Amino acid sequence: MPTDDTGTEPDFRFTLANERTFLAWIRTSLALMAGGIALNEIEVFASETARVILGVTAVVLSLVLALSAYVRWQQVQQAMRRGEPLPHPWAVPLLATGVVTVAGIVALVIAFR
């Protein structure tokens, strides 16, 4: 997806800050993917189904975060070029809810095994 180059070129510091934010989201996405793989492999869970569901959930959150990171980077870049307000980060509540859910279930499983 090419970026829309209409508008004026923003200050390079803002463009680089936008890029750093994108890279931070990608690092978080990679950590979620690694966590999902680890959840699928550890033998703490009595149920293989629970283990697979939690692992897949973490990896799907990783996928959603990576995709939304790119979309957000592009939207912010376009908003800066056009002098518009920055868009609402729709992925933040979704990611927070997903991570809290997975972490809560894992904590319960570990506490009561």
Quick: pLDDT tens for 67-94: 999 999 999 999 999 999 999 888 889 8
User: Does residue 73 lie within any of the structural domains?
Assistant: yes
Both ends of the chain: CA-CA distance in Å? 47
User: Does residue 5 lie within any of the structural domains?
Assistant: no
User: Does residue 2 lie within any of the structural domains?
Assistant: no
User: Does residue 30 lie within any of the structural domains?
Assistant: yes
User: Does residue 80 lie within any of the structural domains?
Assistant: yes
Cβ contact 51:40 at 8 Å? yes
Closest CA to 29 of 53, 70, 58, 65: 65
In this prediction the pTM is: 0.81
User: Does residue 3 lie within any of the structural domains?
Assistant: no
Q: Which domain holds residue 96?
A: 12-111
Which two tokens mark 95? 């990611």
| Consecutive H or E run containing 33 | helix 12-41
Answer yes or no: is pLDDT of 47 > 90: no
* pLDDT above 90 as % of the chain: 60
Answer yes or no: is pLDDT of 50 > 90: no
User: Does residue 86 lie within any of the structural domains?
Assistant: yes
If one counts every other C-beta atom within 10 angstroms of the C-beta of residue 68, the result is: 19
Residue 41 CA, chain-centre distance (Å), reads 22
What is the number of domains present in the chain?
1
Q: How far apart are CA 22 and CA 38, in angstroms?
A: 24
